[in-house]
Amino acid sequence: MAIADDIPVRRMNFEFPEDMDLVFIEDDPELSYFFVAAWMMLPHLEPYLIRSVQAAMAKVQDAPLLEEMKRFCAQEGQHYRQHAKMNAVVKRIHPAGPQLEALESEVEALFQRWTATKPLRFNLAYAEGFESMTAAGSVTQMEVGMFDYMREPIRGLMFWHIMEEVEHRTVCFDACRKVGGGYFYRLTVGTWAQMHYLGLCKRFAGAMIAADPETIARYNTPERAEKRKARRKAYAAKALPKQLATYMPWYNPRTMRLPDAFEPARAEYTSLAASVQ
């Protein structure tokens, strides 16, 4: 298949009303806030990934890989722009708005500093650590049918985004192999990157949860707690083997088994993007 078909650039136009429900995962305010909070970082993190991949492009001669890297940057560029629209609304309607903004300034400065001062192979391994975790998570989310119990418009934004994360899952991996470090470097920096990123996610999510105890309490019934527990158990059972597989020396995102929901989602968002243009 042509690269343009594998990694198409879809220009979406999601709309986020001021009264949208931030508890977009049914009966699960904590997990909803975890995602919403983590996405606050995207307008800072994804440009950092783009800068890293663009810097690597200067060292790559392989034309198909260069085209994939270009398309990776274009997809990520669309992701953070759509997320930034949602983030602006979140900061207006959620009581943690000012704290989220302060955290955003902190991560922006951090990722800018890393672009300026860290070696390219570190920045690429960080990108690959993030991308391999995202791809494993995205495939799991489709497999367990998480999008069946989510609310629009956040559902649509997330589904489009994670589907494209699966589309471009090989790009940072290949770029890392060409101009980055070897397996042990990818493993150590990549795993560290995942811990680092999740640590930041916890700080953003912690701010949202702490500022809104009423919403958390409203969903705190035994039946809902039981439902959340069962869903998380099912998720972990599917996610864990996929995440562990990314740490193996023979890991290659090309050989990942893709869920049945992947191709229909690609077609759906391609036609939605066509209606936007």
Residues contributing to the site for Fe ion (CB under 5 A)? 76, 79, 165
Tokens representing 237? 């059972």
The DSSP output letter for 154 is H
Q: Output 28 or 131, the one with its CB closest to Fe ion.
A: 131
25 phi and psi, to 5 degrees?
A: -95, 120
The Cβ of residue 237 has, within 10 Å, a number of other Cβ atoms equal to: 11
> CB of 46: closest distance to Fe ion in angstroms?
5
Q: Output 146 or 157, the one with its CB closest to Fe ion.
A: 157
Burial 178-206 (b: 16+ CB within 10 A, else e): ebbbeeebbbebbbebbeebeebbeebbb
- Gap between the Cα atoms of 22 and 151, Å rounded: 9
> CB of 68: closest distance to Fe ion in angstroms?
12
The tally of CA atoms less than 13 A away on the side-chain side of residue 108 is: 8
> CB of 169: closest distance to Fe ion in angstroms?
8
Q: Output 92 or 254, the one with its CB closest to Fe ion.
A: 254
Q: Which residue is nearest to Fe ion (CB)?
A: 79
Q: Output 16 or 39, the one with its CB closest to Fe ion.
A: 39
The DSSP output letter for 16 is -
Residue of 92, 85, 82 lying closest to 19 (CA atoms) = 92
Q: Output 28 or 165, the one with its CB closest to Fe ion.
A: 165
> CB of 80: closest distance to Fe ion in angstroms?
7
- Gap between the Cα atoms of 147 and 156, Å rounded: 9
Q: Output 49 or 103, the one with its CB closest to Fe ion.
A: 49
Helix axis angle for 262-276 and 154-167, nearest 10°, is 110
> CB of 182: closest distance to Fe ion in angstroms?
22
> CB of 61: closest distance to Fe ion in angstroms?
23
